[in-house]
Structure 1
Amino acid sequence: MDKKYRIQNAETIPSPSLVVYLPHVQYNIEHAIATVGGDVSKLRPHAKTHKTAEIIAMEREAGILKHKCATLREAEMLAQNGIEDILIAYQMVGPNVNRFVSLQLKYPDADFKVIVDHEESVTALASAAARLGLNVKVMLDLDVGMNRTGIPLGDAAVDVYAQIEAVDGLQPWGLHVYDGHIHDEDVADRKASCDKSLAQVEEMKDRLVSKGLDVPLIVMGGTPTFPIYAKTPGVEASPGTFVFHDHGYTTHFPDLGFAPAALLLSRVISIPTPRRITLDLGHKAIAADPDGVRGIVLNVDGAEVGKQHEEHWAINVPDSTPIHIGQEIYVCPTHICPCVALHPFYYVVDADGYCRGTWEVTARNRTL
């Protein structure tokens, strides 16, 4: 294991616990800024990975003043911590429509934006905004191939955008695109996939402009496609995972250059056979997403993960591996984002390798 991950006072941290290494977080923030050539106006990080006020403060101190988020609680956390440009990349439905407009009333200095992909959502949002005398900036969520949310390029998409312009209380504010279907490990292939998305965005923009509709903002992508959009004129890039990074992205996208900044500290609770150990790291502490290998053991050579349960994780180890009960085991998760949501707080480690306290995962819950 790289010695930079060794915690000098690990005996003070109970397990299983999430630990975050502040020097690596700082490096990732600086590397993201370098990726956009120092132009922080092109950078709109997603808060969904860390959900933490202190990380927002670190990004703000680095000059990053606008963010994207998925939940209303994340949006409120951003507003509470001095962020004035906030994009909620999630369509509001049901009670969340009124919760959103109430949030805008509560934080009048924050410039909120929200996405839609359906005429019914436009109608509901317009009704709520007009009732309170608000003007809400609304972006169209464009589906460029992921088929999760958004509306595909076409006449129906133009109609929804035109509807935003036509109703009282709403203001059309551009296009939002998430391209989580792009998994090309080869950089040239990934760029080619991004170019296909960009072509759809450009055609959509041209259609809207031809009808006299303004498109003030285009926000695209996540962490894997970040380097491509970072160099694309007229586009804001919105990576999220980069701030903590993880084993999955490090393995599949080594070109990104970010460093894992969050691990799970676990301990051996049983040694059922000479070649098998059990950790106190079940899927209540490390995310059950993705399927398959959910993390890798860093400090036991040749360890292979086995069956995982709610509070246990069986690990196969080579013969003659020196193991003792209570031994500290460091695990790098495959997908860090859902891991963070499992923990109400995490332990922070400084540049000297010492744990210096805890930071609350402020926006872990959804209540305002």
Structure 2
Amino acid sequence: MEDCYRIDDPNRILSPGLVLFRELVEANTDAMIEVAGGIERLRPHCKTHKMREVAEMQVARGITKHKAATFAEAEMLAQAGAKDVFLAYNIVGPNIARVVAYRKAFPDVRLSVTGDDVTCLDQLARAVSDAGTDVDVFLDIDPGRNRTGLRVGERARLLYRQIVDAKGLNPAGFHFYDGHQHHSSLEQRKAAIRSEWEPMLVFRNTLEGEGMPVPAIVCGGTPQFPVYASLRDRALELSPGTCIFHDAGYGEKCPDLEMFRPAVLVLTRVMSRPTENRVTFDVGTKAVASDPPMGTRVVLPEIPDAEQVLQNEEHLVVETALADEWKPGDHTLAIPRHICPTVALHRQVTVVSEGQIVDEWDVVARDRLLTV
């Protein structure tokens, strides 16, 4: 492994264990700011890291706007000193009351949410206005992902008018998450993004022409980040998330993201040598994200020919010509292919700086509920 992944005393780390290399996280943070051209347009997503200390690192660099996917993440951001938190999730059911609770718990934090439904937005407006508070609302625009949101058009226009007119709701603009646009070719990615971006701008201009303010447009994730960073629009906000830790998936899929390095890896140990060419590690599906296909969930840099032939809850079996070099108790580092859900599987990370274990950070927002 490269020296940036050195751990001088790995025996202090239980396995499978998540290890955060602080200098690499700091470098990824600085690279994110550089790609954005400064902190002004940045609204980084915390769904990858879910840690107060990482949020504090961003706040200390002057990043004032932040994005979350759960109330626990939004609360963690407030506790870290964030003053502008966008909960990019449509508010339904019991979460309507949680908006009121959050506003009361953190009155100095600007809270914004998304919406795409007439009834739910009406319920939200009544709840916040009855409580004597308010909340900013982004209209969730569907950029062709067909997951949430409305396509630009008359339904979206009428819903945004509802937001503008409703007591207790403040129109914040658009949420425009096109996470499906992750072509390996940067030029193809640019073309795909622009095909949806440009009609959305026409829609924005139409609404503003009717007197409806569209203060901000929050766009994209990590693969789309360099594309949006190259655009100039007065309302544009950039919301990369994965790049703060990076992973093998985007590292392979999007070579233009070479400015980011995997910064959080899983320390795993050999559990068994069941056959002459097999090595069994303890990095099972309870330790690393299992949404990538079997056989591709981790990269093992120290075993370049490893074929991952079996993975269960507590085991990963690989076949390799280098099997004789490994014995039970040996450790190595595995790079997750998808870091975001991997982090959520761990209660803590071990923090390493210049080879030394210096701290443990809690993954506090892996839970759905903190206090709000």
Normalised by the shorter chain, which TM-score bucket?
A: over 0.9
**Identity among equivalent pairs (%):** 42
Q: Is residue 236 of structure 2 the alignment partner of residue 264 of structure 1? A: no
CA distance in 2 between counterparts of 1:127 and 1:60 reads 33
In structure 2, relative to structure 1, the CA distance for the partners of 1:302 and 1:3 (3 Å cut) is farther
- Retained in 1: the 8 A contact 2:279–2:323? no
Q: Give the RMSD, CA atoms, in angstroms.
A: 1.1
CA distance in 2 between counterparts of 1:125 and 1:2 reads 51
Out of 312, 315, 326, which is 2:315 matched to?
312
**TM-score computed with the length of structure 2 as normaliser:** 0.96
CA distance in 2 between counterparts of 1:171 and 1:265 reads 46
**TM-score computed with the length of structure 1 as normaliser:** 0.97
- Retained in 2: the 8 A contact 1:142–1:175? yes
Partner amino acid, structure 1, of 2:69: A
- Retained in 2: the 8 A contact 1:274–1:319? no
CA distance in 1 between counterparts of 2:307 and 2:333 reads 13
Deviation at 1:146, TM superposition (A): 0.7
In structure 2, relative to structure 1, the CA distance for the partners of 1:320 and 1:70 (3 Å cut) is closer
CA distance in 1 between counterparts of 2:65 and 2:238 reads 11
Name the counterpart of 2:122: 123
Partner amino acid, structure 1, of 2:286: K
Name the counterpart of 1:35: 35
CA distance in 2 between counterparts of 1:267 and 1:285 reads 12
Partner amino acid, structure 2, of 1:114: V
SS in 2 for 1:272: coil
Equivalent residue pairs, number: 366
Q: For each residue in 1:135-164, what CA deviation from the matched residue of structure 2 results, as whole angstroms up to 9, or x when unmatched?
A: 211110100111111111110000100011
Q: Is residue 319 of structure 2 the alignment partner of residue 340 of structure 1? A: no
SS in 2 for 1:156: helix
Deviation at 1:319, TM superposition (A): 5.2
Deviation at 1:317, TM superposition (A): 1.0
Moved more, 195-204 or 103-112: 195-204
- Retained in 2: the 8 A contact 1:343–1:361? yes
SS in 2 for 1:269: strand
Name the counterpart of 2:193: 194
In structure 2, relative to structure 1, the CA distance for the partners of 1:319 and 1:53 (3 Å cut) is closer
Deviation at 1:210, TM superposition (A): 2.3
Name the counterpart of 2:49: 50
Structure 2, unpaired ranges of 5+ = none
CA distance in 2 between counterparts of 1:71 and 1:204 reads 29
Name the counterpart of 2:293: 291
Name the counterpart of 2:22: 22
Name the counterpart of 1:100: 99
SS in 2 for 1:57: helix
SS in 1 for 2:364: coil
CA distance in 2 between counterparts of 1:323 and 1:94 reads 52
Deviation at 1:291, TM superposition (A): 2.3
CA distance in 2 between counterparts of 1:267 and 1:34 reads 37
Partner amino acid, structure 2, of 1:364: R
Partner amino acid, structure 1, of 2:126: S
CA distance in 1 between counterparts of 2:218 and 2:254 reads 21
Name the counterpart of 2:71: 72
Name the counterpart of 1:303: 306
Structure 1, unpaired ranges of 5+ = none
In structure 2, relative to structure 1, the CA distance for the partners of 1:320 and 1:346 (3 Å cut) is closer
SS in 2 for 1:301: coil
Partner amino acid, structure 2, of 1:285: A
Deviation at 1:68, TM superposition (A): 0.3
SS in 1 for 2:31: helix
Name the counterpart of 1:244: 245
CA distance in 2 between counterparts of 1:320 and 1:295 reads 18
Q: For each residue in 1:216-243, what CA deviation from the matched residue of structure 2 results, as whole angstroms up to 9, or x when unmatched?
A: 1111000001011112222111000010
SS in 2 for 1:68: strand
SS in 1 for 2:274: strand
Deviation at 1:320, TM superposition (A): 5.7
In structure 2, relative to structure 1, the CA distance for the partners of 1:311 and 1:320 (3 Å cut) is closer
Deviation at 1:173, TM superposition (A): 1.1
Q: Is residue 328 of structure 2 the alignment partner of residue 325 of structure 1? A: yes
SS in 2 for 1:114: strand
CA distance in 2 between counterparts of 1:227 and 1:63 reads 20
Name the counterpart of 2:164: 165
